[in-house]
Chains A and B, each alone.
Chain A
Amino acid sequence: MTHGVSDHPQKAAEFIADSQRAHWHDGALWFVRDKRDAAARSVPEWEQLRETAKQIKAHSLSRLPDYLEEFERKATALGAQVHWARDAQEHNEIVYGILKAGGVRRVVKSKSMLTEECHLNPFLEQHGIEVVDTDLGERIVQLRQEPPSHIVLPAIHIKKEEVGDCFHEHLGTEAGATDPAYLTEAARQHLRERFMQADAGITGVNFAIAETGGFVVCTNEGNADLGVSLPKLHIACMGLEKIIPRAADLGVFLRLLARSATGQPITTYSSHFHGPRADGALHIVLVDNGRSALQQSEEHQRALSCIRCGACLNTCPVYRRSGGHSYETPVPGPIGSILAPSRDPGKYASLPFACSLCGSCTDVCPVKIDIHHQLLTWRRELAESGHLDWKKRWSMRLAGVVLGRVWLYRFAGKAMRTVMPLLPRFLKYNPLNAWGKQRELPPMPRKSFREQYRRRHGK
């Protein structure tokens, strides 16, 4: 995961090789997309909400430093301690520093894509601190020692039989158990124990409000609440882009978030935090890690509006069929394919091409990010910065030469129409012809449109 160059086509082909599983995965996520459609349809002003959310985010990003400083002032006044981290390393060290100072040995953590992005868990484990992910899906992938495959449904790639096997091995449930209620109850008991033992709770942040210095964490399982209510130390880690100006703006986002994510009218728990509890401490870590650079990019700034609902993953025909792990990045799918190359263009150069440009992500996005257009822009930028592999480079160069010269284009067309029907099959369907692996080539017409048109109109 942390080294080498990502190769989406290869990983996707491996996922699809198990056709039954790939279809099951596609169906599971299409079901979520369907639920989202029904939930969105129930709000008459849906499109207006999306437009409002987009504008609030655009405004917040345009004054990011002001709002962040206002948030810091207000949060500090409420008694929280605010930390600034330039990158993942600094973030991890700050969190470790707080834990070390508090003599913490056991931590419970609710879902946070930021801490995945920073690889916080392995860092803390190296320093002898036990971290337990308390979101059920996250706990499953943590026990299986793999990364989440989806930002909202981390274990969506795993079948209940496999959860049964995993829990049998780690939690001592009965062998072969597949009943979701039984398995969930086992996880509940197991997690409760960890909650009781924890010395600190770490959460992510969905929305931070500049005006009040408070923030909101959304979960469906209530694990964030329990994780920060039992231990006295709460550390909230947030990316800079989570800021919104006013408490009144929250309603717009909370209505969009759950409907877009899972088709629920509202997330089960939307927990508001304003300063530490009476006998505890609250630390807020604000993390940049490439965000301010993205904010400077006119092309990709809008990607920072993302509220991590996962709707673009659920609707993406490529994501549904290739699985989250094929992207080899903490945030997979369409939005991840914009964010990852900004962090490491060499490593993630294949991701903006893992897209048929169908545009479904752009239309489903609750904050109206022009996702597929940004992926197209990325392709150009990667070509210009020399990050394409030789096959793409040369085939595109050749296409450019042919399409840029009328005479050559006409000649090439005529040559194809004449030669192709004469060629034996094995010459046309060779290992270099990726089109012909599963598809027939189109039958060659005898005359081009131009030739037919000329003949008919005598020109």
Chain B
Amino acid sequence: MKSKTYELCEFLTDVVQVEKLAVQFPHRVGYHQSCHGLRELRLGAASELMPPPDDAAVGNNESKTHRLLRMVEGLELVTLERSDECCGFGGAFAVGEEAVSCMMGQDRIADHQQAGAEVIVANDMSCLMHMDGLIRRQKQNLPVMHIAELLAGNKLPRNGKTQP
């Protein structure tokens, strides 16, 4: 089962071998690298690991999702100060260590805001649920989107509503 199971972006880049996408998204996007995609599935190179000298792409902390995002017309990826820090969801951790979890999420959101992101995009719904919960409680205007929504051509959510 493991050998036949793929994460969406991994499937698109490695199996379908997508080279082009007919998708427009003319916005500044903050990409959140979810930990389990990054450090368990190895969708990209974690910032802690040092690349072999001849692999520049890995050194840039690039992931399979980055490759797809670069195919989207008009999309601008913003540069975060901490490219792959955990958002603090962590399953039961989110309630068991509520204070730390929320501070971690808050710090991630602030990083995306200072970078000028109009939306936070991630491969992992639970990270997004956590950060979105914090954002909505504070009545801030920073929508979140799953990568599948963006790649399917959805528009930027307005007023908390998904726009197909």
Contact, CB under 8 Å: B129 / A359: no
Contact, CB under 8 Å: A358 / B107: no
Contact, CB under 8 Å: A40 / B96: no
Q: What is A's interface to B at a CB cutoff of 8 Å?
A: 8-9, 12-13, 16, 19, 22-23, 26, 30, 37, 40-41, 43-44, 46-47, 315, 317-318, 321-322, 353-360, 362-364, 392, 395-396, 434-435, 437-443
Contact, CB under 8 Å: B133 / A440: yes
Contact, CB under 8 Å: A30 / B82: yes
Contact, CB under 8 Å: B95 / A435: yes
Contacts between chains A and B (CB distance < 8 A), count: 122
- The B interface, classified by DSSP as helix, strand, loop or mixed, is helix
Tell me, in angstroms, the Cα distance from A356 to B129 when the chains sit together.
Answer: 15
A442 and B50 contact, Cβ closer than 8 Å, known pairs A26-B107, A317-B86, A318-B97: no
Tell me, in angstroms, the Cα distance from A435 to B92 when the chains sit together.
Answer: 10
- The segment out of B8-16, B40-48, B66-74 that lies at the interface is B40-48
- The segment out of B17-25, B98-106, B115-123 that lies at the interface is B98-106
Q: List 12 A-B contacts (CB under 8 A).
A: A8-B97, A9-B98, A37-B47, A44-B53, A47-B50, A357-B35, A358-B35, A360-B46, A363-B39, A363-B48, A435-B95, A437-B102
Q: Please, which residues of chain A bring their CB within 8 A of the CB of B85?
A: 317, 358, 360
Contact, CB under 8 Å: B52 / A47: yes
How close is B136's CB to chain A, nearest CB, in angstroms?
A: 4
Contact, CB under 8 Å: A40 / B133: no
Contact, CB under 8 Å: A321 / B104: yes
Contact, CB under 8 Å: B90 / A356: yes
How close is B102's CB to chain A, nearest CB, in angstroms?
A: 4
Query: Which chain A residue has the least Cβ–Cβ distance from B90?
Result: A356
Contacts A13-B100, A359-B40 known; 17 new A-B pairs at CB < 8 A: A16-B100, A30-B82, A41-B59, A44-B52, A47-B52, A315-B48, A317-B85, A317-B104, A354-B97, A355-B90, A356-B86, A356-B93, A356-B101, A357-B36, A359-B39, A363-B49, A396-B92
Does B89 sit at the interface, judged by CB under 8 A?
A: yes
Tell me, in angstroms, the Cα distance from A47 to B55 when the chains sit together.
Answer: 13
Which of the residues B50, B93, B107, B137 comes within 8 Å of A41, measured between beta carbons?
B50
Query: Which chain A residue has the least Cβ–Cβ distance from B34?
Result: A358
A356 and B104 contact, Cβ closer than 8 Å, known pairs A44-B53, A392-B96: yes
Tell me, in angstroms, the Cα distance from A318 to B90 when the chains sit together.
Answer: 11
Tell me, in angstroms, the Cα distance from A160 to B101 when the chains sit together.
Answer: 28
Tell me, in angstroms, the Cα distance from A352 to B103 when the chains sit together.
Answer: 19
Tell me, in angstroms, the Cα distance from A358 to B36 when the chains sit together.
Answer: 7
Q: Please, which residues of chain B bring their CB within 8 A of the CB of A47?
A: 49-50, 52
Query: Which chain A residue has the least Cβ–Cβ distance from B81?
Result: A30
The 9 closest A-B pairs by CB, nearest first: A356-B90, A439-B133, A358-B86, A359-B39, A363-B48, A13-B99, A46-B50, A434-B95, A358-B35
Contact with A along B130-157 (1 / 0, CB 8 A): 1011101100000000000000000000
A355 and B50 contact, Cβ closer than 8 Å, known pairs A26-B107, A438-B102: no
Contact, CB under 8 Å: B46 / A442: no
Tell me, in angstroms, the Cα distance from A358 to B91 when the chains sit together.
Answer: 11
Does B78 sit at the interface, judged by CB under 8 A?
A: no
Contact, CB under 8 Å: B104 / A439: no
Q: Please, which residues of chain B bring their CB within 8 A of the CB of A16?
A: 99-100, 103
How close is B33's CB to chain A, nearest CB, in angstroms?
A: 10
A318 and B39 contact, Cβ closer than 8 Å, known pairs A30-B82, A356-B90, A360-B46: no
Does B94 sit at the interface, judged by CB under 8 A?
A: yes
A43 and B97 contact, Cβ closer than 8 Å, known pairs A317-B85, A356-B104, A360-B39: no
Tell me, in angstroms, the Cα distance from A19 to B100 when the chains sit together.
Answer: 11
Most buried by B among A41, A357, A392, A437: A357
Does B30 sit at the interface, judged by CB under 8 A?
A: no
Q: Please, which residues of chain A bring their CB within 8 A of the CB of B132?
A: 440, 442
Contact with A along B48-64 (1 / 0, CB 8 A): 11101100000100000
Q: Please, which residues of chain B bring their CB within 8 A of the CB of A23?
A: 107
Contact, CB under 8 Å: A440 / B137: yes
Contact, CB under 8 Å: B103 / A442: no
Which of the residues A359, A437, A439 comes within 8 Å of B130, measured between beta carbons?
A439
A442 and B133 contact, Cβ closer than 8 Å, known pairs A26-B107, A318-B100: yes
Tell me, in angstroms, the Cα distance from A442 to B89 when the chains sit together.
Answer: 14
Contact, CB under 8 Å: B88 / A356: yes
How close is B162's CB to chain A, nearest CB, in angstroms?
A: 10
Q: Please, which residues of chain B bring their CB within 8 A of the CB of A46?
A: 50
Query: Which chain A residue has the least Cβ–Cβ distance from B49?
Result: A363
A322 and B50 contact, Cβ closer than 8 Å, known pairs A355-B93, A358-B90, A442-B133: no
How close is B125's CB to chain A, nearest CB, in angstroms?
A: 9
Q: Please, which residues of chain B bring their CB within 8 A of the CB of A8?
A: 97
Query: Which chain A residue has the least Cβ–Cβ distance from B88?
Result: A356
Tell me, in angstroms, the Cα distance from A30 to B84 when the chains sit together.
Answer: 13
Which of the residues B39, B88, B133, B134 comes within 8 Å of A317, measured between beta carbons?
B88
Contact, CB under 8 Å: B35 / A359: yes
Tell me, in angstroms, the Cα distance from A154 to B145 when the chains sit together.
Answer: 42
Q: Please, which residues of chain B bring their CB within 8 A of the CB of A30?
A: 82
Q: Please, which residues of chain B bring their CB within 8 A of the CB of A13?
A: 98-100
